[in-house]
C-alpha cells in the first residue's frame, strides 16, 4: 500500500529514511484514525459525525446501513481559488498530477465512487461526507519544514541533542512545525521553504530568502503520509510531507533572526531533550529527523513537557 519514496528520491540517506519511515508508519497506522472521527466537526458547534466504531472504520467491513453526515463548510462551497468545484464530477484527474494540483495519495490509488465521482478516504470511514473544511476532493497536501541544528551547550548532556524551529500556532496555541498547505504549482520543497519564510522568518527580503535557500539546499524529504487530522472526511483528507533541513555546523543558522508571521503567534528554537506535545503528526516527523541525525532519542525517557516550555530560547 505504501507509495512512500515514489518521488524526490535522492541522496544516500534514502534507504535509511525509507526504513525509518516504514517503522514509524507501521507504529502510526496500525491504529485506526481517531481525530478524523471527532464530533462536533472542528470549527462547528453542531455538526455531529455519524459514530463509527473502531471495528467499522475499514471500508472492507460490510456496513450496508452506513450513512455519513453530509457537511461542507460554506466558505469552501463558495468556490474560492484554493478549493475544487462543489461537484466532484467536474474533477477529471483523481489519482493524477495534472501539472498544477497533485491528486495522488501517499497511500496508493484511492477508490472513486461510481455514482458521485467522490474519492473514498483510504484510511476508512469518518462519519462525515463532503469536504468539511478542506478545499480538495481526495488528498489535500501539506508540507512541514523540519529545521534542526545541534544544541549549543552539550556539556551536561550524555548524548547529542538537537534543537528545532517550532511555532505556536495562532489558532490553538499548539507547538508545531511551521508548515502549511501546498499551493497550486508548488512541490513540498518549495512549499516548506515558503512556509518557513512566512511563519518563522516573517520576511521576504532577498538576503533572508538567500539565507533560507542555502539552508534548504541539501534538504531531504523524510516523511510522506496520511494525517489523522480532525478536518478529514470520507471524501477529503490531509496528507503531509516533511522536509528536513539540518544545519550540521550551525553556520547557516547562527545569524537567523526568527520572527513569527502569518499563522504563527511565536517562533523559537526548542531543545529536543524531552517529549513536547506537538500538533497533528509532527511528533512522528521530528522523531524520524532525530533518528536520521543520530541524535538523542528523547522519547525513551518518560519526561513530558507542556507545550509552552520555559527552556526554549526565544531568538
In the complex, the residues that contact ligand BGC under the rule CB under 6 A are: 142, 144, 176-177, 179-181, 227, 229, 238, 240, 280
3-class SS of residue 311: coil
The β-bridge relationship of strands 128-132 and 69-72 is: parallel
Nearest residue to ligand BGC, by Cβ distance, number only: 179
> Are the C-beta atoms of 276 and 156 separated by less than 8 Å?
no
Question: Between 124 and 179, whose beta carbon lies closer to ligand BGC?
Answer: 179
Nearest 5°: the CA angle 121, 127, 132 is 70
CB of residue 310 to ligand BGC, shortest distance in Å: 24
CB of residue 157 to ligand BGC, shortest distance in Å: 28
In whole angstroms, give the CA distance from residue 200 to residue 208: 11
Question: Between 36 and 52, whose beta carbon lies closer to ligand BGC?
Answer: 36
3-class SS of residue 275: strand
Instruction: Give CA separation, 166 vs 64, 99, 217, 234, 270, in Å.
Output: 45, 32, 20, 31, 7
Question: Between 128 and 161, whose beta carbon lies closer to ligand BGC?
Answer: 128
Question: Between 163 and 199, whose beta carbon lies closer to ligand BGC?
Answer: 199
CB of residue 230 to ligand BGC, shortest distance in Å: 9
Question: Between 127 and 135, whose beta carbon lies closer to ligand BGC?
Answer: 135
Instruction: Select from 228, 218, 148 the least CA-distant residue to 189.
Output: 218
Question: Between 57 and 134, whose beta carbon lies closer to ligand BGC?
Answer: 134
Nearest 5°: the CA angle 76, 79, 80 is 85
3-class SS of residue 149: strand
In whole angstroms, give the CA distance from residue 255 to residue 270: 17
Amino acid at each position: 500500500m505504501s507509495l512512500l519514496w515514489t518521488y524526490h528520491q535522492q541522496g544516500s540517506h534514502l534507504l535509511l529514511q525509507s526504513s525509518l519511515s516504514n517503522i514509524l508508519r507501521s507504529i502510526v497506522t496500525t491504529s485506526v484514525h481517531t481525530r478524523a472521527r471527532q464530533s462536533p466537526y472542528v470549527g462547528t458547534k453542531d455538526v455531529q459525525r455519524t459514530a463509527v466504531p473502531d471495528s467499522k472504520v475499514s471500508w472492507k467491513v460490510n456496513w450496508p446501513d452506513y450513512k455519513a453526515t453530509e457537511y461542507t463548510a460554506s466558505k469552501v462551497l463558495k468556490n474560492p481559488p484554493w478549493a475544487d468545484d462543489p461537484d466532484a464530477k467536474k474533477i477529471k484527474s483523481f489519482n493524477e498530477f495534472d501539472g498544477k494540483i497533485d491528486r495522488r495519495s501517499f497511500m496508493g490509488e484511492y477508490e472513486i465512487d461510481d455514482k458521485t465521482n467522490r474519492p473514498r478516504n483510504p484510511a476508512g470511514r469518518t462519519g462525515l461526507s463532503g469536504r468539511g473544511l478542506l478545499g480538495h476532493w481526495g488528498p489535500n497536501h501539506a508540507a512541514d519544514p523540519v529545521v534542526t541544528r545541534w544544541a549549543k551547550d552539550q556539556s551536561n548532556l550524555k548524548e547529542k541533542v538537537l534543537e528545532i524551529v517550532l511555532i505556536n500556532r495562532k489558532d490553538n496555541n499548539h507547538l508545531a512545525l511551521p508548515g502549511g498547505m501546498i499551493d497550486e504549482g508548488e512541490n513540498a520543497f518549495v512549499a516548506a521553504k515558503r512556509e518557513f519564510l512566512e511563519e518563522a522568518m516573517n520576511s521576504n527580503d532577498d538576503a533572508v530568502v538567500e539565507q533560507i535557500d542555502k539552508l534548504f539546499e541539501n534538504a531531504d524529504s523524510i516523511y510522506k503520509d496520511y494525517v489523522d487530522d480532525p478536518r478529514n472526511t470520507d471524501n477529503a483528507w490531509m496528507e503531509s510531507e516533511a522536509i528536513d533541513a539540518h544545519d550540521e555546523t550551525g553556520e547557516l543558522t547562527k545569524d537567523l533572526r526568527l520572527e513569527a508571521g502569518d499563522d504563527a503567534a511565536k517562533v523559537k528554537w526548542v531543545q529536543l531533550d524531552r517529549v513536547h506535545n506537538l500538533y497533528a503528526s509532527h511528533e512522528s516527523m521530528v522523531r524520524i529527523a532525530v533518528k536520521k541525525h543520530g541524535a538523542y532519542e528523547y522519547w525513551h525517557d518518560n519526561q513530558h513537557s507542556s507545550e509552552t516550555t520555559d527552556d526554549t530560547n526565544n531568538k
